[in-house]
Amino acid sequence: MENITNILLVSGTHGNELSGLYLQKLIKDGRYDANRSTFSTSLLTGNPEAVQQQCRFLDMDLNRQFSTSRQEATSKEAKRSQALITQYADNEKQLIIDLHNTTSNMGATLILLSESPFYTKMGAYVKQRMPDANILFETRTSWPEQPYLCTMGQYGVMIEVGAQAHGSLKSETLDLMKRMTTAVLDYIEKSNLGQLDQLNAYEAYFYLEEVVVPLDQDGQRLALVHPTVCGQDFQPVYPGEPLLATFMGSDIHWQGEHEIYPHFINEAAYCASNIAMALAEKKHIEV
């Protein structure tokens, strides 16, 4: 592939996620260097109105507005996505890094939306630099149909750090974001220069499905995340083990044939959709 010559570093796609916004502040204040010899880094606030109001979004989730099959809409976020696409989607040799923090206990997670060698090698490089990091592939959907802001161009990734309450800052998660962003930037630099060292095989997670909490006839929840799962992002749940605990005293168990790995467990932003967690399988990646 061509060398990447520009990084578009995006924060504030969700207006109440502050880690990325303050990483950008460090860059503007000269306290973090996001440039390298082979590329320059530009900064973008994804949803500035939501940032100003300190809310996730105004009308609709901006980070779900970038699929090519999206419906025409008049929401503020739909208009914002179109403006961003017009300005940035055709920029060649550009990688978009979209910065997020989550209320889930996911540590530092690199979300990759393609299994091409460029991304599998990126995962290997980041994993070698940060052994405790999680590499999560969401590749069930083709690139043009991915809804995420980072897919509006040819290349893009997301960085998630947590656990961190929305609207707050934590030194630990900000440090994780700095470290993972640095690793991605260094990977691009070495890839551009043809200086990547031997990359080792690694374990990565592949998104499967979401677990939705059952509701009663009044729309009230009948269950909650099981206490053995709560806070245990990317820890295995084996067949027959519980995922949810009902208020009637019984459990809802994982019915699959193989273990799965919950993540985005109890993510606060997904409560309105009654999503308890997402599930992934683990795969061995040879580079």
Q: What is the CATH number of the domain that holds 114?
A: 3.40.630.10
Coil vs helix vs strand at 78: helix
In the chain, how long is the greatest CA-to-CA distance? 61
Question: Last residue of some domain: 200, 227, 249?
Answer: 200
For residue 187, tell me if it sits in a domain. Answer: yes
User: What is the CB neighbour count within 10 angstroms for residue 229?
Assistant: 22
Pairing mode of beta strands 242-246, 202-212: unpaired
**Are 216 and 251 in the same domain?**
yes
Within this chain, do residues 248 and 158 fall inside the same structural domain, yes or no? Answer: no
Does residue 185 lie within any of the structural domains?
Answer: yes
Rg (CA), the chain: 19
- Give residue 71's pLDDT band: very low, low, confident or very high (50, 70, 90): low
Considering the domain architecture, whether residues 86 and 222 belong to the same structural domain is answered as no
CATH number at residue 252: 2.20.25.160
Which pLDDT does position 80 carry in this prediction?
97
Q: Is 189 annotated in the active site?
A: no
Which neighbouring-strand residues pair with 94? 6
Strand partners, 36: 39
Sequence-ordered list of residues with C-beta below 8 angstroms from that of 190, at least 6 positions apart, any chain: 125, 196, 197
Q: Evaluate whether residue 221 is within a structural domain.
A: yes
- All residues at 6 or more sequence positions from 103 whose CB lies less than 8 Å from its CB, including other chains: 162, 163, 164, 165, 166, 266, 267, 268, 269
The reply to whether 14 sits in an annotated binding site is yes
CA distance readout (Å), 11 to 47, 48, 80, 120, 275: 8, 9, 14, 24, 24
Say if residue 31 is in the same domain as residue 128. Answer: yes
Say if residue 64 is in the same domain as residue 162. Answer: yes
Q: Give φ, ψ of 3 to 5 degrees.
A: -65, 145
Residue 100, annotated as binding a ligand: yes
Same domain, 128 and 72: yes
Distance of CA 222 to the CA centre of its chain: 29
Edge-first strand order for the sheet with 242-246 is 223-225, 242-246, 251-253
Of 230, 221, 263, 256, give the one whose Cα is nearest residue 241: 256
Mean pLDDT, range 12-19, rounded to an integer: 98
Any domain includes 10: yes
* Same-domain pairing of 37 and 100: yes
Residue 79 above 90 pLDDT? yes
Banded pLDDT at 2 (limits 50, 70, 90):
confident
**178 and 218 share one domain:** no
| pTM for this entry | 0.97
188 shares its domain with 259 = no
> Of 2, 49, 115, 160, which one is the catalytic site residue?
160
Is 232 a domain residue? yes
CA dihedral for 65, 66, 67, 71, sign (positive or negative): positive
Strand partners for 285: 202
Same domain? For 117 and 222 the reply is no
Q: Is 284 annotated as a binding residue?
A: no
Tens digits of per-residue pLDDT, 272-287? 999 999 999 999 999 9
Average pLDDT over residues 114-127: 98
Q: Are residues 217 and 194 in the same domain?
A: no
Report whether pLDDT(72) > 90: no
Task: Kindly state whether residue 285 falls inside one of the protein's structural domains.
Answer: no
Which domain covers residue 236, as residue numbers? 208-279
Point out the domain boundary residue: 179, 200, 221. Answer: 200
Q: Does 287 reside within a domain?
A: no
238-271 pLDDT, tens digit per residue, is 999 999 999 999 999 999 999 999 999 999 999 9
CA distance 9 to 94: 10
Same domain, 158 and 257: no
Last residue of a domain, one of 150, 177, 200: 200
Q: What is the pLDDT of residues 138-182, one digit of tens each?
A: 999 999 999 999 999 999 999 999 999 999 999 999 999 999 999
Residue 284 forms part of a structural domain:
no
Q: Over the stretch 19-48, which tens digit does the pLDDT of each residue have? A: 999 999 999 999 999 999 999 999 999 999
Interhelix angle for 18-28 vs 171-193, to 10°? 60
Tally the domains of the chain.
2
User: For residue 210, which amino acid is it?
Assistant: E
**What is the predicted pLDDT for the residue at 267?**
98
